[in-house]
């Protein structure tokens, strides 16, 4: 069987652009719109007990439309594989963006940090905790907007985010003290700790707690002591300190972060935790282009789309919307697929 034959005709699969744990990520082109996409491919046989993480990530990505969270366009499941068709982020990892520049000026760090805080506040508002926030999981798109990725470790505790979690997960370097101690913890509080690590990395270009030896790394994290690098202004030091509190009850909350003076500097509005685009909006021009292509009425086309099953129609429609928002022509190519 040709590789990834289920994608044939719908997506051109190009080179591997990265790997995320138990997944391979390939660059792809959506045939009808010619838009670039990232295709996250997971072989079921190699998932083992990571299989539930796929379902968790799928549900999270479907329920969390936000301008700073990587968009999911389509889900394809075969007996052997899962394929996630995702928003392509041509700017790569935030981690590399920082390394290339050594560190970021406070002004640029603030623009980025506001976007990450907006995504995390939105997640928490929906009852999710990410639990693996780190610069490698924050990508940049073409317009230098940040996109949060990798929701395989996220948690949506049933009773709500104010109920305790127990599984120790995520990368130790970014993990909160209560998490590495194996204590019960609140997802919202461990995400705040990771945001503190992230802000320190943005401003200093290094990590506050780092050590090859895992035991001395743990000792450093549990001590809560880190070098307050000279490149940090007094306000930056205070903000980071309020997030890197060993006692989770003393840690700043995400809602306090939204309007914190440091985040407000140079801005009139607090960070929004809302999704700024209308989710599943009915856009007449995109709808009519698809209706015309498939030779059905607009109403029939909308009834096919309105179930939002993350099939090829969902992907085509969302990618047309994205083209429209970027001022590109709303058109479809490749009439070979017409009769599909
Ligand atoms: C923890 N790291 C190692 C993980 C790597 C994984 C590959 C990434 N990546 C590239 O390597 N090149 C460019 C590139 C461009 N667009 C992407 C769009 C989506 C995703 C994506 C989205 C979700 Cl929701 C997800 O779960 C996963 Cl695993 C990946 C990755 C992209 C990407 C960078 C981070």
Share of residues in the chain with pLDDT > 90 (%): 84
Q: What is the DSSP string of 154-169?
A: -B--SS-TTS-B----
User: At 335, is the pLDDT very low, low, confident or very high (cuts 50, 70, 90)?
Assistant: low
Supply the mean pLDDT for the chain. Answer: 93
Please tell me the residue having the least CA distance from ligand 1 atom 11: 18
Instruction: For residue 99, name the pLDDT band (cuts at 50, 70, 90).
Output: very high
Q: Is 153 in the pocket of ligand 1 (CB under 6 A)?
A: no
**Residue pLDDT, tens place only, 255-278:** 999 999 999 999 999 999 999 988
| pTM of the predicted model as reported, rounded to 2 decimal places | 0.94
Side-chain-side CA neighbours of 11 within 13 Å: the count stands at 32
- pLDDT at position 337: 54
Residue 340 pLDDT exceeds 60: no
Q: What pLDDT score was predicted for residue 314?
A: 97
Beta bridge partners of 74: 85
Its sign, for the CA torsion 187, 193, 199, 204, is: negative
pLDDT confidence of residue 172: 87
Q: Is the CB of 40 within 6 Å of ligand 1? A: yes
CA atoms within 13 A on the CB side of 213: 4
pLDDT of 285 above 70: yes
* Prediction ipTM score: 0.96
Which residue in the list 125, 132, 210, 215 is annotated as catalytic? 132
21 compared with 225, residue with greater pLDDT: 225
Least confident of 12-21, 58-67, 85-94, 187-196: 12-21
Q: Which of 94, 75, 93 is nearest to 83 (CA)?
A: 75
Atom 21 in ligand 1: residue holding the nearest Cα: 149
Confidence of residue 1 (pLDDT cuts 50, 70, 90): low
Residues 56-89 pLDDT 10s = 999 999 999 999 999 999 999 999 999 999 999 9
Q: Binning pLDDT at 50, 70 and 90, where does residue 338 land?
A: low
Q: Is the CB of 37 under 6 A from ligand 1?
A: no
Residue 155 confidence (pLDDT): 83
pLDDT bucket at 171, cuts 50 / 70 / 90: confident
């Amino acid at each position: 069987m040709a590789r990834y034959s289920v994608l044939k005709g719908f997506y051109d699969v190009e080179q591997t652009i990265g790997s995320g744990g138990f997944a391979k990520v390939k660059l792809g082109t959506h045939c009808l719109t010619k838009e670039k996409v990232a295709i996250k491919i997971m072989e079921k046989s190699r998932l083992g007990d990571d299989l539930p993480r796929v379902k968790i990530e799928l549900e999270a990505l479907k329920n969390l439309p936000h301008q700073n969270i990587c968009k999911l366009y389509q889900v394809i499941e075969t007996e052997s594989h899962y394929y996630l068709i995702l928003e392509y982020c041509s700017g790569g990892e935030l981690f590399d963006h920082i390394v290339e520049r050594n560190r970021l000026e406070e002004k640029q760090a603030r623009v980025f940090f506001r976007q990450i805080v907006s995504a995390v506040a939105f997640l928490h508002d929906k009852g999710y905790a990410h639990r693996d926030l780190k610069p490698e999981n924050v990508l940049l798109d073409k317009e230098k907007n940040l996109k949060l990725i990798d929701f395989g470790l996220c948690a949506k505790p049933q009773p709500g985010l104010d109920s305790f979690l127990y599984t120790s997960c995520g990368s130790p370097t970014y993990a909160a003290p209560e998490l590495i101690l194996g204590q019960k913890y609140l997802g919202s509080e461990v995400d705040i700790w990771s945001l503190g690590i992230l802000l320190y990395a943005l401003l200093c270009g290094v990590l506050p707690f780092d050590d090859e030896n895992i035991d001395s790394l743990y000792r450093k994290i549990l001590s809560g002591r880190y070098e307050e690098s000279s490149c940090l202004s007094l306000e930056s030091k205070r903000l980071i300190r309020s997030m890197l509190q060993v006692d989770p009850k003393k840690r700043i909350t995400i809602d306090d972060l939204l309007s914190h003076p440091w985040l407000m500097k140079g801005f009139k509005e607090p960070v929004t935790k809302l999704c700024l685009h209308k989710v599943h909006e009915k856009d007449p021009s995109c709808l009519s282009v698809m209706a015309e292509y498939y030779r059905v009425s607009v109403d029939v086309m909308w009834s096919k789309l309105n179930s939002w099953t993350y099939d090829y129609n969902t992907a085509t429609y969302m990618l047309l919307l994205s083209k429209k928002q970027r001022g590109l022509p709303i058109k479809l190519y490749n009439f070979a697929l017409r009769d599909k």
